[in-house]
Amino acid sequence: MNLPSIDWAPLLPVLAVTTTALAVLIVDLFMQGPDRDALAWLAVLGLAVTAVISAVLWGHPARTLNGTFVVDDYAVFFDLLFCAASILTTLMAVDYLATTGVRGGEYYALVLFATAGMMTMAAATDLIVIFLGLEVMSIAVYVLAGVWRQDVRSNEAALKYFLLGAFATGFLLFGIALVYGATGSTHLDTIATEIGRHGRDGHEMLLLGAGLLIIGFGFKVAAVPFHVWTPDVYEGAPTSVTALMAVGVKAAAFAAFARVFLDSLASARADWSTVLWWLAAATMTVGNLLAITQSNIKRMLAYSSIAHAGYLLVAMVAGGKQGGAALLFYLLAYTAMNLGAFGVVVALARRGEPNETIDRYAGLGFRRPMLALAMAVFMLSLAGVPPLVGFAGKFYVFRAAVDSGYVGLAVIGVLNSVVSAYYYIWIIVTMYMREGEVEPPLLRTRPYLAATIGIAFAATVLLGVFPGIGFALARGGFFSLG
């Protein structure tokens, strides 16, 4: 039997990160005690090598596996984003794992397997391959959510995430089946060709399938009304895992979401853009209004992530080259400022004292001025205050919406940004204008965590002051589609 030839070059990034995950599992068998910190460096080294391999592939698009897997600049952009997010998540977790008693080998391997799933989702040009990447990522994150076995909240978070995730997967698979029934293919290029050939006539089955795909992707990006799992899971999961879910899982879902709808289903945009318009408006509004009432910092950031999913949906509604580029840049901005914020949350935690209520941040500006400064910058950036990267991201998104004629949606987005400023600035007020008693551990005793916060801080400021660099990469990535 003649096996089909496979071009291995496009698969190198996924193979590199998967090989690193297996290496971490094997090396973990021979590590004891403090020596296990070396596993984090092995994971970081593997992710760095993967990032270099991906960067080399920039500008050299290639397809493999019968055209179902492509490494174009779009996929490379997300590969670099996933590697950066996973490196920071890994560094953030080194000292955190020591306080929770979680075994490092399992944790780092699962982060790497989740990253492999994310990269597969970004590079897939077939709905079945997207589903495979989604499941690889999801299963790893389900386990990560419950990896702190001794903690009841972690177990509860994993169970909720798994049950609701499996339910949402059913919608996604049913949507894929309907799209296949309408077009005779799950390949995105073929689907686009069929839509272009027949137009909108007789495509009720296709539109129903697209609606179910929106439900499946909507769950992963935490869009309203598919967001109900988010606050409980974010609060219960270990904080470093919550950071990965808030950044990596959301970015991977949007990578597949945008490739399917902004590229393959672009010619049917008149049928699905209205649905996304309402989803974007509801997601922004509900996320911000519910965030105001939260007293737990992780639940507040959970609702904040819901609101930011709404801003990202605004970019998808805007569509076109500018909307797609704005989407990618906003994901880059969101990764930097959100990972930094979760890094500060980890920094305040002690063994047996998570210190997750907002009132525990009182007086932080006087006890740990550098840590408070970093948190203040992350909060201001999330609120969209210039000259930080959050402002640049929102500017590109809202400009794309206005240029595409969605002025009303842009106005709703701006008003929601004003509302969000209340709960972000409240964190700053608490840190600098209220007395507190919490004495966080010194960051110099946790160099890995300090590096994570420092890198995120630098990215938040520099990408805000010089947004052209990041936007050029985002534009180059999205323009490679089609």
User: Mean pLDDT, to the nearest integer, of 421-436?
Assistant: 88
**Spatial separation of the C-alpha atoms in residues 90 and 162, rounded to whole Å:** 23
Domain containing 217 equals 9-479
**Spatial separation of the C-alpha atoms in residues 291 and 197, rounded to whole Å:** 46
Q: Is residue 424 part of a domain?
A: yes
Q: Is residue 444 part of a domain?
A: yes
Residue range 319-362, pLDDT digits in tens: 888 999 999 999 999 999 999 999 999 888 776 566 778 888 88
Residues 151/86/421/346 CA torsion (nearest 10 deg): 40
Residue range 209-224, pLDDT digits in tens: 889 999 999 998 989 8
Query: 10 Å Cβ neighbour count for 252?
Result: 31
Task: Give the total number of structural domains in the chain.
Answer: 1
Q: Is residue 3 part of a domain?
A: no
442 confidence band (pLDDT: 50, 70, 90): low
Residue 379, CA distances (Å) to 79, 88, 409, 460 in order? 26, 19, 24, 11
Q: Is residue 1 part of a domain?
A: no
Residue range 244-290, pLDDT digits in tens: 989 999 999 999 999 999 888 888 888 888 899 999 999 999 999 99
- DSSP assignments along 34-45, one per residue: GGGHHHHHHHHH
Assessment of whether the complete model's pTM goes beyond 0.85: yes
Residue range 126-165, pLDDT digits in tens: 999 999 999 999 999 998 888 877 777 778 888 888 888 8
Q: Is residue 413 part of a domain?
A: yes
